[in-house]
Structure 1
Amino acid sequence: MGVLTVTEEFTSTIPASRLFKALILDADNLIPKIAPQAVKSVQIIEGNGGPGSIKQMNFAEGSHFKFVKHRIDKLDEPSMTYAYTLIEGDALMDKLESISYEIKLEASPEGGCNGKNTSTYHTKPGVEIKEEEVKAGKQAAAGIFKAVEAYLLANPDSYV
């Protein structure tokens, strides 16, 4: 099994606590509402929504993928850190055992936030992941992030 780790840093004008509430804590409700063309629904299939829980994300009609299941590994609201692992679904493309993600948000002096997203791809034996495949997933995630950010900018009283 091979391992590829990619770390990205980003900034937002949205305060860290607001972004964490929308992007992490209420994502199951918010994302299907603001990006129905991408995500049809998200449901907890096992657990209470905290660490160890399993969630299934169902993608919208016309998507390249039908669903993914992920396990919540860490949910630390005070430190605004969230980690989860994709464990099943067609987004793993029969090439990956899993993909682990860790997202950390911190308040910035300007009032917005700085974030860091680390993705670790665990490939199946003998499989090499291509940079284009990683980029495609990152672009989809960036689109969801931008949709949440736009929603928060347009709705300043949400998630305060």
Structure 2
Amino acid sequence: MGVLTYTDEHTSSVSPARTFKASIVDSHNLMPKLLPDATKSINIVKGDGGAGTIKSISFIKGDDFVKHHINELNEKTLTYKYTLIEGEGISDKIEKVSYDIKFEGSPDGGTISKMTTTIYTHGDFELKEKLKAGKEEVLGLYKVVEVYLLKNPDAYI
């Protein structure tokens, strides 16, 4: 088994608590509204939304979907850890992908989102293009949420 880990950061002018609530805690409601051309639905398959929950995300494109297992969701520390366990991204080469996300305050009152991604592979091989596409998708999601929160200053207070 191979293991590949990388980190990424995103800054925003929106506070960490609002960003966390919108992009993590209420993502199952907000993302299909903000991305109707990409996201068909986000459903909780098992659990109450916290640790141990399994979420299924269905995409508009074909029969594409992913399932996430939530390992930790902590609203006090603004940390979120989950593992992609099934669907798009999992293959004969990729066993699972784990994400560790932390939202911290920036000096200007905004947010620094730090994400560590760990990809567990069946054997060793290069994932350069897949990594680039995944990073761009995540950054795109952060930007969509940020725009929504800036346009709706009373949302997720």
TM interval, shorter chain, is over 0.9
The answer to which of 20-29 and 132-141 deviates more is: 132-141
Task: Identify the residue that residue 130 of structure 2 maps to in structure 1.
Answer: 133
TM-score of the superposed pair, with normalisation by structure 2 = 0.95
Q: 1:91, CA displacement in angstroms? A: 2.1
Offset at residue 127 of structure 1 (A): 4.4
- How many Å separate the matches in 2 of 1:100 and 1:122? 8
* 136-145 or 15-24, larger mean C-alpha shift: 136-145
Question: Distance between the aligned counterparts of 1:94 and 1:60, measured in 2?
Answer: 24
Q: State the 1:150 CA deviation.
A: 0.7
Conserved? CA contact 1:95–1:129, under 8 Å: no
Matched residue, 2:84? 86
* Corresponding residue number in structure 2 for 1:38: 38
Say which of 135, 152, 155 aligns to 2:152.
155
> What is the identity percentage for the equivalent residue pairs of Structure 1 and Structure 2?
51
State the 1:103 CA deviation: 0.6
Aligned to 1:106: 104
Q: Give the conservation status (yes or no) of the 8 Å contact 2:10–2:139.
A: no
Tell me the number of residue pairs that the alignment of Structure 1 and Structure 2 aligns.
157
Match of 2:141 in 1: 144
C-alpha distance in 1, partners of 2:88/2:113? 28
Structure 2 matches for 1:12-31, cutoff 5 A? 12-31=12-31
RMSD, aligned α-carbons: 1.3
Q: Distance in 2 between matches of 1:94 and 1:114?
A: 34
Gaps of 5+ in 2: none
CA–CA separation in structure 2 for the residues paired with 1:94 and 1:141: 23
The amino acid that maps onto 2:137 is A
For 2:52, the aligned partner's letter is G
- Structure 1 distance, partners of 2:132, 2:143, is 16
Question: Which blocks of at least 5 consecutive residues in structure 1 are unaligned?
Answer: none
1:76–1:56 Cα change, 3 Å = same
Structure 2 Cα separation of the partners of residues 145 and 38 of structure 1? 15
Give the TM-score normalised by the residue count of structure 1. Answer: 0.93
Q: Which runs of 4+ in 1 moved over 6 A?
A: none
Which amino acid is the alignment partner of residue 112 of structure 1?
Answer: G
Separation in 2 of the partners of 1:50 and 1:146? Answer: 24
State the Cα distance separating 1:140 from its structure 2 match.
Answer: 1.3
Letter in 2 for 1:24: I
| Aligned residues of 1:99 and 1:121 also touching (Cα < 8 A) | yes
In structure 1, what is the Cα distance between the partners aligned to 2:127 and 2:104? 31
